[in-house]
Amino acid sequence: MSEARPPGVAQPVFAGIIAAITGFASSFALVIAGLHAVGADDAQASSGLLALCLAVGLSSIVLAWILRVPISFAWSTPGAALLIAAGGAGMPFSTAVGAFLVSGALVVLCGFWPALGRAITRIPRPIASAMLAGILFPICIAPVTASVEQPLLAIPVVLTWLVLFRLAPRWAVPAAMLVAAVGIALSAGTEWLQTAQIAPQLVATAPVFDPLAIVSLGLPLFIVTMAGQNVPGFAVMSTFGYRLAPRPALVGSGIASVGAAFFGGHSVNLAAITAAIMAGPDSHPLREKRWVASFTAGFLYILLGLGAGVATALVAASPPILITAVAGLALLGALVTAVTSALEEPSHRITAIVTFLVTASGVTIVGIGSAFWGLLVGGIVMAWLGWRRGASQKPETPGSPPRGSGAPGSPGSDVEAAPDE
């Protein structure tokens, strides 16, 4: 009896197509809304989405081909949420672009200087997770607000997500986005198409390096990208038996981020959730064949980017709360894992709650946004409460890792990455 032949190349190709469509449809609207929040006009937002698609696609194609592993990239969904949170500062888009460039350059630096990467990923888990939860929380309550303010548009979206989350979770958010798009198109008529820039176009934006914007947006974007996306990305690859060298992945994604930033893209990082589709056995039984999935996804991202103008016009025609509501549905899982991780250690729950509240407040002080202040206040509270406990607690064994030092997505952590793209 002859042995069954292993699946051919069609299986990883199909896995790459599913991963790319799922990733793009889940959060392209959040990216556009985030770029609008930090001052981009429609042309700049469309350019930013196209630049991100090109950067994600080319990075996946080149590194998957060279390394022959299913390495894949995505734009930072928590980073896009951070843009919305930072939008109240009223910064010009040129200063946001400067912050994007600094964030990307720091990722490149992590690739060449591993100590910096380790320092970022060792931010105490209660603080890092609580900051991420604070960024995501205002977006995740949008489905509730939208269902009250725009019931005819929002309720079908929420119901679609709820039904498919039970029956086919992978397609819940893309289907919700499709229902939202149909509702927007029907309510807006054909006017939104008349304003659409159908032909893809990259629009360069000269960066302005404002220290306040760098502290308020650039540094939090770098931290969220590293701790919330790149670290889980490495963990996913390791789970499926791929020991990915940090340098090519970080330098590659950092360079892609810098290149995309000049045209309005905010951040590129390792994929995590969609990476599991391409790096797992469902992609191909043979590990050495799975790189084809990432290679395929890269090409599809480039093709999807060609529709950035239409996507931007559709988002512009929508009530802003509806787009944020779809993004909130996509980010619910990330919010759950961030909150769970932040409150996991009873001794640091007050620190985590304080960090969460400061970040979620959206306050801007001396031009610096709430994500930075959440990190700062959380660190101060942890240091103070930790010092008070130190008088009555048994000292830790010398050389043992400090309590609460895990980073989201690090080995031993139960924090999952936010949805890719």
For the chain, give the secondary structure using H, E and C.
CCCCCCCCCHHHHHHHHHHHHHHHHHHHHHHHHHHHHCCCCHHHHHHHHHHHHHHHHHHHHHHHHHHCCCCCEEECHHHHHHHHHHHHHCCCHHHHHHHHHHHHHHHHHHHHCHHHHHHHHCCCHHHHHHHHHHHHHHHHCHHHHHHHHCHHHHHHHHHHHHHHHHHCHHHHHHHHHHHHHHHHHHHHCCHHHHCCCCCCCCCCCCCCCCHHHHHHHHHHHHHHHHHHHHHHHHHHHHHCCCCCCHHHHHHHHHHHHHHHHCCCCCCEEECCHHHHHHHCCCCCCCHHHCHHHHHHHHHHHHHHHCCHHHHHHHHHHCCHHHHHHHHHHHHHHHHHHHHHHHCCCHHHHHHHHHHHHHHHHCCCECCECHHHHHHHHHHHHHHHHHHHHHCCCCCCCCCCCCCCCCCCCCCCCCCCCCCCC
Q: Which residue has the higher pLDDT, 311 or 357?
A: 357
Q: Which range (39-43, 45-49, 411-415) has the least confidence?
A: 411-415
Least confident of 76-80, 125-129, 196-200, 355-359: 196-200
Q: What is the pLDDT of residue 156?
A: 93
Q: What is the pLDDT of residue 235?
A: 82
Residue 325 · residue 27 · CB < 8 Å? no
Give me the pLDDT at residue 377, please: 93
Q: Which pTM was predicted?
A: 0.81
What pLDDT, on a 0 to 100 scale, did the predictor assign at position 191?
A: 66
Higher-confidence residue of 400 and 189: namely 189
pLDDT at 414: 36
Q: What is the C-alpha end-to-end distance of the chain, expressed in Å?
A: 46
Are the C-beta atoms of residues 342 and 133 closer than 8 Å to each other?
Answer: yes
Per-residue pLDDT, averaged over 21-42, amounts to 89
Q: What's at 193, amino acid-wise?
A: L
Percentage, residues of the chain above pLDDT 70: 86
Q: Could you tell me the pLDDT band of residue 193, with boundaries at 50, 70 and 90? A: low
Q: Residue 197: is its pLDDT beyond 60?
A: yes
Instruction: Over range 330-339, report the average pLDDT.
Output: 86
Better-predicted residue by pLDDT, 400 or 39? 39
Q: What is the mean pLDDT of the chain?
A: 83
pLDDT range class, residue 169, cuts 50, 70, 90: confident
Q: Is the confidence at residue 267, as pLDDT, over 90? A: yes
Q: Which residue has the higher pLDDT, 118 or 155?
A: 155
The region of weakest confidence among 34-48, 201-215, 219-233 is 219-233
Question: Rounded to whole angstroms, how far apart are CA atoms 191 and 369?
Answer: 36
Q: Is 70 exceeded by the pLDDT of residue 310?
A: yes
pLDDT of 401 reads 37
Q: Who has greater pLDDT, 261 or 283?
A: 261
Number of Cβ within 10 Å of residue 239's Cβ equals 12
Which residue has better confidence, 238 or 90? 238
